[in-house]
Amino acid sequence: MDADIAVVRSYFLDFQSEIVKTLEHLDGGATFSMERIETPNGGFSQPRVLVNGKILEKAAVQFTYSLGKRLPPAASATRPHLSGKSFAATAISTIVHPCNPNIPTTHLNLRMFVVDADPKVWYFGGGFDLTPYLPYEEDFVEWHKFARQACTTDEQYKVLKNQCDEYFFLPHRDECRGIGGLFFDDYVSGGFDKSFQFVVDVGKNFLDGYSSIVQRRRNTEWSLEEEDWMLVRRGRYAEFNLAIDRGTKYGIQSGRRIESVLASLPPRAKWVYGHEIPHDSPQERLMTYLNPGIDWLNLVDNSVNIEES
């Protein structure tokens, strides 16, 4: 099939409904808002947000379809010569901030660009990642098994997993935002049909992987100390999104609808000067996981500590 953004857009709209339904079911109480915002040139977006659920403190599932006169340089990492050309883009993004620190925060983005060059240029981008607050190694291994499953080969998983570690990194903290997942840009591998199928598989494995973790941890009780730790870690999340993330930066600078751009920010966050992590604590153990290069699918002795020498 020829590259067709209408097909992808329609899939993203359906997938938005599916994510919304799944998250509402997982929460078991709260529901998502529904807005449709149209732009004069034929683009439209559908931000859907859930707040103050029993399980989810805030979740945003956003669909966008946009037509632009000039492709921003940030929209293609490897083909700067495309910037400035007119384009169409469609994307879906998801961010979930749970109430319970036993459940990780997660993030998904899938997008397709079609640029009016001669010949036409199209590509996909996106990925997913997980930001846990407590060290459940089995969850992290499982998450990466889903990531591997979304890929065609071990090699592809490794490349996209490393790109994810690299992207979601806070240099000023010398730590990863979370335990990673997949990250890809300028993706055209094997033609449109295969690329699109890959994007569909990434979405499916994201939703299956996150659902599995939420179901496993939703009934685990937590202490105020653990919640406090989650708020401190959410401060790091805000640091990444506001100071480092290219997408947010682009959104802030380009005058996109700011509530949509910043819907990823945590509902609550804390900054504690000189925050210290107790020795031999779960928090300390979590930090050993927030490093790039951990080979989740081949942990020696089932422990990442081995990897860190």
Q: Residues with catalytic annotation? A: 107
Alpha-carbon span 62 to 194, nearest angstrom = 24
Q: Which whole-number Å values give the CA distances from 132 to 1, 18, 96, 199, 291, in the listed order?
A: 39, 24, 12, 24, 13
Q: Which spans in 168-256 are helix H?
A: 191-217, 224-239, 246-254
* Cβ atoms within 10 Å, residue 244: 16
Reading the block at residue 246, the tokens are 């290219």
Is 266 near a copy of itself (CB under 8 A)? yes
Q: How far is the CB of 198 from a copy of itself (least distance, A)?
A: 31
Choices 10-18, 37-45, 114-122, 253-261; region in contact with a copy of itself by CB under 8 A:
253-261
Tell me which residue has tokens 């930066």. 249
Reading the block at residue 19, the tokens are 């994510």
Q: How far is the CB of 265 from a copy of itself (least distance, A)?
A: 4
Identified binder of a copy of itself from the candidate list 271, 284, 303, 305, rule CB under 8 A: 271
Q: Which of residues 164-183 bind a copy of itself (CB under 8 A)?
A: 171-173
Q: How far is the CB of 267 from a copy of itself (least distance, A)?
A: 6
Reading the block at residue 169, the tokens are 């990194």
Is 51 near a copy of itself (CB under 8 A)? yes
- Which one, of 259, 256, 264, lies nearest residue 66 by Cα? 256
Furthest C-alpha separation in the chain = 60
Task: With residue 285 as reference, give the H or E element that holds it.
Answer: helix 282-289
Identified binder of a copy of itself from the candidate list 19, 23, 60, 112, rule CB under 8 A: 60
Identified binder of a copy of itself from the candidate list 230, 265, 286, 304, rule CB under 8 A: 265
Is 273 near a copy of itself (CB under 8 A)? yes
- Which one, of 249, 20, 290, lies nearest residue 131 by Cα? 290
Identified binder of a copy of itself from the candidate list 84, 267, 278, 293, rule CB under 8 A: 267
Choices 106-114, 179-187, 251-259, 277-285; region in contact with a copy of itself by CB under 8 A:
251-259
Alpha-carbon span 10 to 7, nearest angstrom = 5
68 vs 251 by CB, closer to a copy of itself? 251
Is 224 near a copy of itself (CB under 8 A)? no
Identified binder of a copy of itself from the candidate list 1, 41, 224, 255, rule CB under 8 A: 255
Give how many residues touch a copy of itself by CB under 8 A. Answer: 34
205 vs 283 by CB, closer to a copy of itself? 283
Residue window 20-49: x/- pattern of binding to a copy of itself, with contact defined by CB under 8 A: -----------------------------x
3-state secondary structure of 102: coil
Identified binder of a copy of itself from the candidate list 77, 252, 277, 287, rule CB under 8 A: 252
Alpha-carbon span 215 to 232, nearest angstrom = 24
Reading the block at residue 82, the tokens are 């495309």
- Binding site residues, a copy of itself, CB under 8 A: 49, 51, 58, 60, 171-173, 231, 235, 238-239, 242-243, 248-249, 251-253, 255, 258-259, 261-263, 265-274
